[in-house]
């Protein structure tokens, strides 16, 4: 395999990434992966492969492609494992992005499995400590702190996952709200779920919570109904006379037996 050819393709991939040429970058990455099939495991080849896949991970974030991100990370981890330096060769920036991805996917078991592979020095870097802090805040329900963390990301590439994590946070808040309240004013619900407007909440309801009911509430605007009464649950629907008759019948039969 020609190392110079691989270096040339890697240079093309890097230029495309830097210039936000997504189509060119994906084409260069595909070309590089074909060349990687001929790698024999030499140290220089492993280094080129890791660099290419790291760029592929970052490129998939720019392309907002979760599937491509997951594939590139999986391939990259295999090359990290084959590296003579092992875990010490892991790019903590890439690993931190993978932890953010696992948080968005709510895959906490794999999240903690990944943490167990890290050294204390790696875990203390901003790239890793940031998602660790987010996970802790999510676990205790400190959603305001999670949302405010968007302005403190260790790298702009984390912003993509923070935008998606916001959806995860809103879903968690929605799950809590719908079991804690029977009804709530639309403007209050929008504020609680961190929407900028009631219209954004309405779009969320249409997309993700079609079982929520929006009712007019007179002069007080619109009201959300989370727990509508079940059909036939009214007191007038209970067959009280029939139940009384059955109870008396049972009592009479019991008296006869005794």
Residue for token pair 């929407």:
195
Supply the CATH number for residue 141's domain. 1.25.40.990
Shortest CA distance to 174 belongs to which of 216, 138, 213, 205?
205
Q: Does position 76 have pLDDT exceeding 60, yes or no?
A: yes
Residues 122 and 168 in one domain: yes
Q: Above pLDDT 90, what percent of the chain?
A: 47
Residues 194 and 235 in one domain: yes
Residues 85 and 120 in one domain: no
Residues 71 and 108 in one domain: no
197 Cβ contact list (under 8 Å, min separation 6) = 190
**Residue 94 belongs to what domain range?**
90-180
CB count in 10 Å sphere of residue 147: 16
Q: Which of 28, 54, 89 is the last residue of a domain?
A: 89
Measured distance between the N- and C-terminal CA atoms of the chain, rounded to whole angstroms: 96
What is the Cα–Cα distance from 20 to 148, expressed in whole angstroms?
28
What is the Cα–Cα distance from 16 to 151, expressed in whole angstroms?
27
Residues 18 and 83 in one domain: yes
Asked if 36 and 46 count as a contact pair (C-beta separation under 8 A), the reply is no
Q: Does position 199 have pLDDT exceeding 50, yes or no?
A: yes
Residues 209 and 248 in one domain: yes
Residues 170 and 209 in one domain: no
Could you read off the pLDDT of 12-52 as tens digits, one per residue?
Answer: 999 999 999 999 999 999 999 999 999 888 889 998 999 99
Could you read off the pLDDT of 84-134 as tens digits, one per residue?
Answer: 655 445 789 999 999 999 999 989 999 999 999 888 899 999 999 999 999
Q: Which of 124, 149, 180 is the last residue of a domain?
A: 180
Per-residue pLDDT at 251? 55
Residues 72 and 105 in one domain: no
Residues 80 and 97 in one domain: no
Asked if 32 and 6 count as a contact pair (C-beta separation under 8 A), the reply is yes
Asked if 44 and 3 count as a contact pair (C-beta separation under 8 A), the reply is yes
Average pLDDT, the chain: 85
Could you read off the pLDDT of 121-144 as tens digits, one per residue?
Answer: 999 999 999 999 999 998 888 888
Residues 147 and 116 in one domain: yes
Q: Which of 44, 63, 89 is the last residue of a domain?
A: 89
Per-residue pLDDT at 64? 94
More confident residue, 145 or 231: 145
Q: How many domains does the chain have?
A: 3
Residue for token pair 């400190």:
142
More confident residue, 192 or 128: 128
Q: Does position 235 have pLDDT exceeding 60, yes or no?
A: no
Residues 132 and 152 in one domain: yes
Residues 158 and 196 in one domain: no
Q: To the nearest 5 percent, what fractions of the chain are helix, strand and coil?
A: 75, 5, 20
């Amino acid at each position: 395999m020609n190392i110079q050819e691989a270096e040339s393709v890697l240079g093309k991939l890097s230029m495309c990434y830097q210039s936000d040429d997504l189509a060119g970058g994906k084409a260069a990455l595909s070309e590089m992966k074909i060349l990687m099939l001929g790698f024999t495991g030499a140290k220089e080849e492993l280094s080129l492969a890791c660099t290419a896949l790291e760029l592929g991970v970052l490129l998939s974030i720019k392309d907002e492609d979760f599937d491509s991100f997951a594939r590139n990370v999986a391939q990259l981890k295999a090359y990290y494992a084959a590296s003579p330096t092992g875990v010490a060769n892991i790019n903590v920036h890439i690993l931190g992005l993978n932890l953010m991805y696992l948080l968005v996917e709510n895959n906490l078991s794999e999240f903690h499995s990944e943490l167990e592979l890290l050294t204390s020095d790696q875990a203390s870097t901003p790239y890793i400590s940031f998602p660790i802090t987010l996970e802790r805040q999510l676990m205790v329900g400190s959603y305001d702190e999670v949302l405010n963390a968007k302005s403190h990301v260790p790298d702009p590439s984390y912003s993509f996952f923070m935008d998606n994590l916001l959806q995860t946070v809103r879903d968690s808040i929605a799950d809590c709200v719908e079991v804690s309240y029977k009804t709530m004013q639309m403007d209050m619900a929008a504020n609680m779920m961190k929407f900028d407007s009631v219209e954004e909440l309405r779009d969320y309801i249409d997309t993700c919570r079609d079982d929520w009911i929006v009712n007019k509430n007179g002069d007080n605007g619109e009201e959300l109904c989370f727990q509508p009464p079940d059909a036939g649950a009214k007191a007038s629907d209970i067959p009280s006379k029939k139940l009384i008759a059955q109870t008396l019948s049972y009592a009479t039969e019991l008296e006869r037996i005794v």
